Amino acid sequence: MKIFFFSPCALDPKLGAAKMLMELSSAMEKLGWTPTLMGPPELGADRRDGPAKLQAYLEKHAGEYDVVDFDYKYLNLKRSDFSDRVLFVARAQLLLHHYVFSPLPPVTDVRGGLRLLKHQVDRFRKWRALSALDATFREADLVSVLNRHARRDLARRGVDPEKILVFPNGMSEARRPAFERVPAAPPPDPVVAFIGMFGPRKGSADLPDVVRRVTDAVPGARFRLLGTRGMFRTEGEVLAHFAPELRPRIEVIPSYAPETLPDLLRTCAVGVFPSYAEGFPLGVLEMLAAAVPVVAYDLPGAPEMLDAEYLVPPKDTRAMSDRLAALLLDRERLAGARVWARERARRFTWDRIAAETHEAYMKALEKQRAFAKPAP
């Protein structure tokens, strides 16, 4: 069976979406599939003409594959243009609908207000694109999303829920051992980890209040912010969001080599993830694999990995801080939570995800081809 994957991230393994697709492809290959991966460079395309180049490529070559698995933002699919013997799967790594309709973080100061204004303008531009994206989802034979929120939201917008598949991302077996070597026993110091770009969608406006509340409640508590570079590039730009008296309690590491992450998490007791919209946040999975339990908002992404006791309502920084402090102040409870975190992370393997994807695609192909027109 031949499958075509298209990634908008140019197959760069340093970029999360491309890396996840490459790992899924490798796992599918072990099940007998012959994958072809392409990004805009392989099509001779740039960001502007990528969709047109993908359309032209598929008009010529789609019939060479059994499955065409494509990023939903790059193809305005009209199903009648293609053979009904080919299964078209619209894949969403981060659903723009979540980004557009997620609740805005609170505004704390003028500087934050200006940032959020730009953030809102960007959301409005994305909102204007939603109707065309919804049409692609309705035209596709299957839709692959990363979380249950996405399935629910697309169904509300007229996409047949029976064809929406929820498949999470995973961690490769090559990376897992390094995280498993982090001791499950609680480290001696109350260090709280955060992994992610520091910006509005990731909860940058909420973290200062969380830091203040946790450090007030837990003597010696510190925060380690990892991979913050993006909207704010330097340590100083990130620390400027926090009151001067809090800054000595915060360590900012704007970027890091992926292989160093387990060691950076080794001395972290718990994790925090106040993001407002995600597909499947790899940072949460990485913390869990390192036996770091995570408290997050009950919004798209993190709930795919976390039980209800680790989820709080969006914008509720008090509840988030209370959950973190409760773990840090009770070492017996923390020890149990760390064992739970590692066990939960072990569910998300590419071999399991690929096997479920294989089964779903084969079932859909069999059903579709039973009613397909004979090949000319």
| CATH number reported for the structural domain that contains residue 99 in this entry | 3.40.50.2000
Do residue 106 and residue 152 come from a single domain? yes
Do residue 155 and residue 221 come from a single domain? no
What is the token pair recorded at 255?
């970027």
Do residue 281 and residue 364 come from a single domain? no
What is the token pair recorded at 231?
């909207």
pLDDT in tens, 190-200: 999 999 999 98
Token pair 């027109």 is found at 373
Element (H, E) at 364: helix 350-370
Domain that holds residue 43: 2-170+349-370
The confidence score (pLDDT) of residue 96 equals 84
Q: Is 247 exposed, middle or buried, given 0-12, 13-18 or 19+ CB atoms closer than 10 A?
A: middle
Q: What are the C-alpha distances in Å from 209 to residues 108, 203, 221, 243, 326?
A: 10, 11, 14, 10, 17
Q: Is residue 86 part of a domain?
A: yes
What is the token pair recorded at 119?
């953030």
Do residue 155 and residue 269 come from a single domain? no
Higher-confidence residue of 159 and 105: namely 159
Q: Does residue 5 carry a pLDDT above 50?
A: yes
Phi, psi at 206, each rounded to 5°: -95, -30
Higher-confidence residue of 86 and 94: namely 86
Show the CA angle centred on residue 277, arms to residues 3 and 340, nearest 5°: 85
Q: Does residue 110 carry a pLDDT above 50?
A: no
Q: Is residue 376 part of a domain?
A: no
pLDDT in tens, 257-315: 999 999 999 999 999 999 999 999 999 999 999 999 999 999 999 999 999 999 999 99
Q: How confident is the model at residue 223 (pLDDT cuts 50, 70, 90)?
A: very high
Q: Round the average pLDDT of the chain to a whole number and report it.
A: 92
- Bridge-based pairing state of the strands 164-166 and 191-195: unpaired
Q: Does residue 76 carry a pLDDT above 70?
A: yes
Distance CA 243, CA 254 (A): 19
Distance CA 143, CA 361 (A): 11
Range of lowest pLDDT (114-118, 160-164, 217-221, 300-304):
114-118
Do residue 224 and residue 326 come from a single domain? yes
Range of lowest pLDDT (179-188, 315-324, 364-373):
364-373
Do residue 12 and residue 122 come from a single domain? yes
Q: How confident is the model at residue 119 (pLDDT cuts 50, 70, 90)?
A: low
Domain count, the chain: 2
Residue among 53, 60, 59, 16 nearest 38 (CA): 53
The confidence score (pLDDT) of residue 107 equals 46
Do residue 251 and residue 319 come from a single domain? yes
Token pair 């992404």 is found at 301
Q: Give per-residue burial for 307-320: e unless 16+ CB within 10 Å, then b.
A: eeebbbebbebeeb
Q: Is residue 375 part of a domain?
A: no
Do residue 277 and residue 363 come from a single domain? no
pLDDT in tens, 306-342: 999 999 999 999 999 999 999 999 999 999 999 999 9
> What is the identity of the amino acid at 67?
V
Do residue 233 and residue 163 come from a single domain? no
- The percentage of the chain sitting over the pLDDT mark of 70, rounded to a whole number, equals 93
Do residue 98 and residue 184 come from a single domain? no
The confidence score (pLDDT) of residue 131 equals 87
Q: What is the DSSP string of 278-305?
A: -SS-HHHHHHHHTT--EEEESSSSGGGT
Q: Is 184 exposed, middle or buried, given 0-12, 13-18 or 19+ CB atoms closer than 10 A?
A: middle
Do residue 190 and residue 157 come from a single domain? no
The confidence score (pLDDT) of residue 10 equals 67
Average pLDDT over residues 56-83: 96
Do residue 103 and residue 82 come from a single domain? yes
Within 86-147, where are the H helices?
A: 96-101, 110-139
Q: Does residue 12 carry a pLDDT above 90?
A: no
What is the token pair recorded at 193?
């980890």
Q: How confident is the model at residue 94 (pLDDT cuts 50, 70, 90)?
A: confident
Q: Is residue 235 part of a domain?
A: yes
Q: List Cβ neighbours of 203 (8 Å cut-off, separation of 6 or more).
A: 105, 273, 274, 275, 276, 297
What is the token pair recorded at 91?
């894949």
CB atoms within 10 A of CB 82: 17
Contact of 310 with 320, CB cutoff 8 Å: no
pLDDT in tens, 47-65: 789 899 999 999 999 999 9
Q: Does residue 16 carry a pLDDT above 50?
A: yes
Average pLDDT over residues 117-131: 71
Average pLDDT over residues 160-173: 96
Range of lowest pLDDT (121-130, 221-230, 282-291, 308-317):
121-130
The confidence score (pLDDT) of residue 118 equals 67
